[in-house]
């Protein structure tokens, strides 16, 4: 019996040993191995996912329950076979910007799934309708991807959903009526898409909503009455095309943040129902056609912190009986019609000294008024107070850390922190120097992330972006005694931050910045049994055999891979390989390619002086001939003093590469190698407008050509202001930045470089100088008081260019200002007297142009150069007027600009309708027939 008994015991022991090594369902092991093979950056080791505690994997029984891989630097597509993880309850792949391709419809087969978080990746295609099958889903977050198409009506079947976030994509179509079924939803977040149609009144059925975000779409029609949403705390419908009257929202008794800005509501007085919103902290109603007086009790809401009512027609203000909430910090009444400076001054004096009041752009702030004399004042704001940063212990300058490590101020030793940026969607405050507010953020993060005191540092420099979102950069250090986070700890941090952990500053999303490899530490290596060791050894032997089998193949592929890397290198990899400054971020370029330094040396004869065609604040510009395709290009090589860090260069390239319009100089590519920062643009053979007006090119610009150059450049600027995402303020519009191609088509240049140089100077000296932001003679009058530029500053500079086109003179010539000279002459003899004056370019004096056309052009230039920004037109209005001028010139003066050749004959044709034909959203020819309402803020 001993023999059989021993055999039986051995058999049982072997079964137990096998179960120890293989806890996970075999099909799911195969699926996870498939994911590992397809996702670059995923390092899983061990025999069994559940038994070996693979990073990001948790199990229930033999099935994978959670796959949490946020911020892991993963690259590749999401395989449809993921539906083989039949017990999956939580899937978080957020902020892996290397993940791309479509979201597989097979996710709809994961019947147990409760949380699906795919935000901050680069997934494209449509949202699968099959996701509507996930009856247990409570969190759906696919925000900040490149998803298009319409919202699937099937998503209305998510009857247990709480967080529904599909924001910041490219979704189109109307809001499906089936969304009314999401009765459990607390967050309905659909902002920053291209949604059209009306907001259905059935939104009012979602009574558990606490956050409603429909802003930055193209929704129209009236805003439905949703006063029965008693739990709603945040409501954002700004930057749409809503019309009709502003409904009574007094029933929203828990409302804290309201933003109705930039819509086309009916003209109305300030609503009296605001007095019932006792919990509201922020009211944003900019550009909503408010008129009449500002009520005396509007500021008495007990929790009110900020009220922004700019760009309306408010024309009265109380000077007595003003009631002000003790929590008020900001009142913005810019660009209204407040005219009585004495009453306005009395109103301001009644406000507590801690309240920031903004009144710029009102008649009461006109030059010479008592309000305009003082600095600082509501009409002349003071320089910004530096925002809060976490105080850090001074560890001296002697500590030198390795690459990717920073000095931990707690212990004055090197450590590898986890860094990222919080983007708060609706902060209720304006001042960024309030230490107690941001200390509460630090304390909240320490508690929610279970970190030790002093681990979290708010860095310089927090700011509001173009969407009025607050961006805060943070650095999180590992616990004392360790100098890096384990992978599992990073996954935990990423997951907690991706699911909207409650925060004292409101709703947010988090953008991790992890640009290097994780240190990998085995967390399950202690206490391994002999059997486990044997199993691991056996698995190691198998892996070794597999490696030997692959050696020959890898060796054979080495040259192919090297060649591929050289000719088609991703932007993030280029940054990491070339400079060590930045890596791991996904490429977000449209059409821009990477050039090797050797290619550009060959194209420019090693950057010889013979190829140099210009220079500026960014560096030198060279003409070059690319070997491939024999294409002539312009190559801008940054000077040593202008070579900013990889992250800033990456941001600049992404900005330039996604801006496409026929009247903007196109970016072809870039080079980031051996410390170089080089931009490659399309070549403009006919130089700049300034070159041609100065007769340097030998081309004579007649009246017709000048009108079309003016129109082309106006269209380019309008695209930057109204259709770029984010909107772009050029900040250095001048005749030398408007270039002409072989057909004399105008193309605006350097709209990114001025921003880039400003960023460099800010880093170097803590301020932005007038030398970088704009050029003397082109700067609008407000700049010298505020040191700030806006879209209307671009309009002023463009108006100076129009006067250059008329006169061929420099903006400042022999100490005389062109704008002042032209205005003085017109005041003396009228507009048409200018046709015979010496100021006018002699080439145009005998030009056959009608007095009406000439007067219209001159008056447009004068309106663009008005002293007050509010009196200047928008660039979109400038385009309309120039198009009218061209039409009034008759068919003999209208032509196809592809035949606008230097000094030769031209064909004639009418002006094509701007939105008819094969134009895409990236390349259409702008016209006033299409209108958007972007915020007048510089892109971050």
Q: Which are the catalytic amino acids? A: 732
State the sign of the Cα–Cα–Cα–Cα dihedral 879, 880, 884, 885.
Answer: negative
Does residue 244 contact residue 199 with C-beta atoms inside 8 Å? no
Q: Which two tokens stand for residue 650?
A: 């990456």
CA distances from 784 to 101, 136, 728, 780, 794 (A): 49, 59, 21, 8, 15
Binding site annotation covers 636?
Answer: yes
444: number of Cβ within 10 Å: 16
The CA-to-CA distance between both ends of the chain, in Å, stands at 82
Spatial contact of 169 and 189, defined as CB atoms under 8 Å apart: no
143 vs 149: CA distance, rounded Å: 14
- Strand 593-594 and strand 612-615: pairing? unpaired
Task: Report how far apart, in Å, the C-alpha atoms of 877 and of each of 329, 792, 874, 890, 919 are.
Answer: 35, 12, 5, 21, 21
- Of 788, 779, 786, 790, the closest CA to residue 937 belongs to 790
Place of tokens 């002459």: 825
From the CB of residue 785, how many other CB atoms can be counted at a distance below 10 Å?
A: 14
| C-alpha closest to that of 665 among 747, 608, 582 | 747
The crossing angle, in degrees rounded to 10, of helices 753-765 and 646-657 is 160
Q: Could you tell me the CA-to-CA distances from 911 to 715, 856, 882, 919 in Å, in that order?
A: 14, 19, 12, 15
> How many CA atoms lie within 13 Å of 128's alpha carbon, on the beta-carbon side?
17
Cβ atoms within 10 Å, residue 97: 22
Q: Which DSSP string corresponds to 369-437?
A: SHHHHSSSBTTBPPPPPPPP--------S-----TT-EEETTTTEEE--EEEEEEES--S---S--HHH
Helix axes 2-21, 530-567, angle to 10 degrees: 30
**Cβ atoms 693, 808 nearer than 8 A:** yes
Residues annotated in a binding site for ATP: 636
């Amino acid at each position: 019996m001993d023999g059989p008994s021993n055999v039986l015991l051995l058999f049982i022991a072997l079964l137990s040993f096998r179960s120890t090594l293989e806890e996970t369902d075999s099909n799911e092991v195969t699926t996870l191995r498939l994911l590992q093979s397809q996702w670059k950056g995923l390092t899983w080791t061990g025999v069994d996912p559940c038994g070996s505690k693979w990073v990001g994997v948790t199990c229930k029984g033999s099935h994978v329950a959670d796959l949490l891989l946020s911020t892991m630097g993963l690259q590749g597509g999401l395989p449809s076979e993921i539906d083989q993880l039949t017990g999956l309850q939580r899937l978080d792949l957020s902020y892996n910007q290397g993940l791309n391709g479509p979201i597989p419809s097979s996710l709809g087969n994961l019947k147990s799934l409760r949380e699906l978080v795919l935000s901050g990746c680069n997934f494209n295609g449509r949202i699968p309708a099959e996701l509507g099958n996930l009856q247990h889903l409570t969190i759906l977050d696919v925000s900040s991807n490149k998803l298009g198409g319409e919202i699937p009506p099937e998503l209305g079947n998510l009857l247990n959903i709480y967080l529904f976030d599909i924001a910041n994509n490219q979704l189109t179509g109307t809001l499906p009526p089936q969304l009314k079924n999401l009765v459990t939803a607390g967050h309905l977040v659909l902002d920053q898409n291209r949604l059209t149609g009306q907001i259905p009144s059935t939104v009012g059925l979602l009574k558990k909503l606490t956050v409603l975000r429909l802003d930055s779409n193209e929704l129209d029609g009236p805003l439905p009455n949703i006063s029965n949403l008693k739990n709603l705390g945040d409501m954002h419908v700004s930057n749409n095309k809503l019309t009709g009257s502003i409904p009574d929202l007094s029933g929203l008794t828990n409302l804290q943040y309201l933003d109705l800005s930039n819509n086309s509501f009916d003209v109305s007085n300030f609503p009296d129902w605001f007095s019932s919103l006792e919990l509201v902290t922020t009211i944003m109603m900019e550009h909503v056609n408010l008129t009449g007086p500002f009520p005396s009790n509007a500021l008495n809401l007990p929790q009110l912190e900020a009220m922004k009512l700019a760009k309306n027609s408010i024309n009265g203000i109380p000077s007595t009986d003003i009631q002000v909430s003790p929590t008020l910090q900001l009142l913005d009444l810019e660009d209204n019609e407040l005219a009585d400076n004495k009453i306005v001054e009395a109103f301001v004096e009644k406000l507590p000294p801690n309240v920031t009041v903004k009144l710029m752009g009102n008649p009461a702030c006109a030059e010479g008024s008592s309000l305009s004399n003082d600095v600082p004042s509501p009409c002349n704001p003071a320089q910004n107070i530096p925002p809060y940063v976490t105080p850090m212990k001074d560890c001296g300058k002697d500590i030198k850390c390795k690459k990717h490590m920073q000095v931990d101020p707690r212990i004055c030793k090197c450590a590898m922190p986890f860094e990222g940026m919080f983007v708060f969607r609706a902060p209720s405050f304006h001042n960024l120097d309030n230490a107690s507010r941001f200390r509460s953020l630090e304390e909240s993060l320490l508690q929610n992330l279970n970190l030790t005191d002093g681990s979290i540092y708010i860095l310089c420099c927090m700011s509001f972006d173009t969407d009025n979102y607050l961006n805060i950069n943070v650095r999180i250090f590992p616990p004392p005694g360790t100098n890096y986070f384990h992978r599992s700890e990073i996954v935990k941090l990423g997951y907690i931050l991706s699911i909207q952990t409650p925060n004292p500053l409101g709703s947010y999303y988090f953008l991790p910045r992890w640009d290097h490899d994780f240190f990998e530490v085995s967390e399950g290596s202690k206490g391994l049994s002999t059997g486990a060791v044997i199993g691991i050894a056996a698995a190691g032997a198998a892996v070794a055999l597999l490696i030997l089998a692959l050696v020959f193949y890898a060796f054979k592929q080495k040259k192919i891979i090297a060649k591929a890397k050289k000719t088609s290198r991703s932007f993030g990899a280029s940054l990491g390989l070339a400079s060590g400054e930045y890596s791991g971020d996904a490429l977000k370029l449209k059409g821009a390619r990477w050039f090797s330094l050797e290619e550009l040396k060959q194209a420019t004869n090693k950057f010889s002086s013979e190829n140099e065609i210009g220079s500026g604040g960014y560096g030198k510009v060279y003409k070059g001939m690319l070997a491939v395709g024999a294409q002539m290009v312009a190559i801008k090589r940054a000077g040593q003093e202008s070579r900013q860090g990889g992250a800033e260069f990456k941001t600049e390239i992404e900005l330039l590469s996604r801006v496409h319009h026929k009247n903007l100089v196109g970016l072809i590519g870039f080079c980031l190698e051996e410390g170089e920062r080089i931009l490659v643009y399309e070549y403009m053979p006919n130089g700049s407008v300034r070159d041609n007006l100065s007769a340097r090119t030998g081309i004579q610009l007649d009246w017709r050509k000048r009108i079309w150059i003016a129109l082309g450049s106006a269209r380019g600027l309008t695209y930057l202001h109204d259709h770029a995402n984010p909107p772009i303020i050029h900040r250095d519009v001048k005749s030398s930045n408007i270039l002409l191609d072989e057909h004399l088509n105008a193309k605006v240049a350097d709209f990114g470089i001025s921003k880039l140089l400003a960023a460099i100077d800010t880093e170097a000296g803590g301020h932005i100088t007038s030398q970088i932001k704009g050029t003397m003679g082109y700067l609008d009058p407000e700049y010298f008081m505020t040191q700030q530029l806006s879209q209307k500053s671009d309009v002023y500079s463009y108006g100076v260019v129009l006067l250059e086109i008329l006169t061929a003179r420099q903006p400042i010539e022999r100490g005389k200002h062109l704008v002042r000279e032209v205005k003085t002459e017109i005041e003396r003899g009228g507009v048409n007297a200018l046709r015979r004056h010496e100021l006018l370019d002699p080439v145009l004096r005998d030009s056959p142009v009608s007095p009406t056309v000439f007067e219209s052009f001159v008056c447009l230039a004068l309106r663009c150069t008005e002293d007050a920004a509010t009196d200047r037109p928008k660039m979109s209005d400038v385009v309309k007027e120039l198009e009218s001028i061209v039409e009034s010139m008759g068919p003999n003066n209208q032509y196809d600009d592809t035949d606008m050749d230097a000094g030769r004959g031209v064909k004639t044709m009418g002006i094509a309708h701007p939105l008819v034909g094969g134009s895409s959203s990236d390349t259409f020819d702008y016209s006033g027939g299409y209108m958007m309402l972007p915020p007048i803020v510089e892109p971050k």
